[in-house]
Amino acid sequence: MADDASEDARSLLAALPDMGKLDEIEGESERHAFAYLHMRAMEVFREKANPMSLIEVIEIVISDTNSAKALLKHAPHRKAREFVIAEWELHRSNYDNNKSAFARDYVRRVWNEMSVSVTEKQLREVWLRDTPPAGKPAG
């Protein structure tokens, strides 16, 4: 029985994409998600491969598959946010530290170049929230 369970677990892992094909995948986020899924499945297999926990292995791999899908789904937004933060660091002096003016310009640029929809308020208050405050202090 233990041999059957181990064989089932091995066949589950064999169904995962071949890591040798990692170089064929285009896009950094896609490669990251692919590698994460494979790495996590191998960790789970090493930790849980026994007859009593095969169902746990399958549940964890399915859960991590959903995590990988989420990474892929949100990749364009993460890439756009990183772009905006880098652009803010480069061009903040050109905008006189005015996040509102920067947001007005970059909302259109992000949409035109990356097809990512973001509002001025989200760009200004959420995407640039970790940057030092722009504008003059109150009082």
The structural domains of the chain, with segments of one domain joined by +, span 2-74, 75-127
Give pLDDT, residue 119: 92
Give pLDDT, residue 2: 46
Give one word for 32, left, alpha or beta, with left for phi > 0 and alpha for psi -120 to 50: alpha
Whole-structure pTM value: 0.52
Give pLDDT, residue 17: 54
Nearest Cα to Cα of residue 101 among 110, 88, 90, 114? 88
For the chain, the DSSP string reads: -HHHHHHHHHHHHHTSPPGGGGGG--SHHHHHHHHHHHHHHHHHHHHH-SGGGHHHHHHHHHHHHHHHHHHHHHHHHHHHHHHHHHHHHHHTTTTTT-HHHHHHHHHHHHHHHH-----HHHIIIIITTTSPPPSPPP-
List, for the chain, all residue ranges whose pLDDT scores fall below the cut of 50. 1-2, 51-52, 139
Give pLDDT, residue 47: 64
| Cα–Cα distance measured from residue 60 to residue 138, given in angstroms and rounded to the nearest whole number | 50
